[in-house]
Amino acid sequence: MSIDLPICKCPKCGKVLNDATVAFGERLDAEPGDSWSICFYCGAIVLFDKQLNTLRLPTPAEWSDVESDPAFFGELQAQQRLVIQFRKAGKAN
């Protein structure tokens, strides 16, 4: 499942992103409110803003909060590793 989003750039690598795809679970959590995501190009763990218009890096407090949920944080890290492995294997441009 994928949804179109306003064009925005990854705050880490600067690549343009314009959609979101469900990485784990059964529903896409890109909805108003700060939603966690992973850049498909560099694997950065990022957050959408409340209007889903831009991406930003997590604050230290947000990192602390997400790390306190081992199941969710573990899934984020697993998906991040998959993106990085996919990129290293040359599967995407």
Query: Does residue 24 form part of some domain?
Result: yes
With a CB cutoff of 8 Å and minimum separation 6, the contacts of 72 are 36, 66
Query: Tens digits of per-residue pLDDT, 23-51?
Result: 555 555 555 456 788 888 899 998 887 77
Q: Is residue 6 part of a domain?
A: yes
Does the residue 93 lie in any domain? no
Rg of the chain in Å (alpha carbons): 13
How many domains does the chain divide into? Answer: 1
pLDDT bin (cut points 50, 70, 90) of residue 87 is confident
CA atoms within 13 A on the CB side of 61: 0
- Residue 55, phi then psi, degrees to nearest 5: -110, 150
Structural domain boundaries enclosing 42: 2-88
Quick one: what percent of the chain has pLDDT higher than 70?
73
Who has greater pLDDT, 71 or 27? 71
Cα–Cα distance between 64 and 19 in angstroms, integer?
27
Confidence (pTM) = 0.75
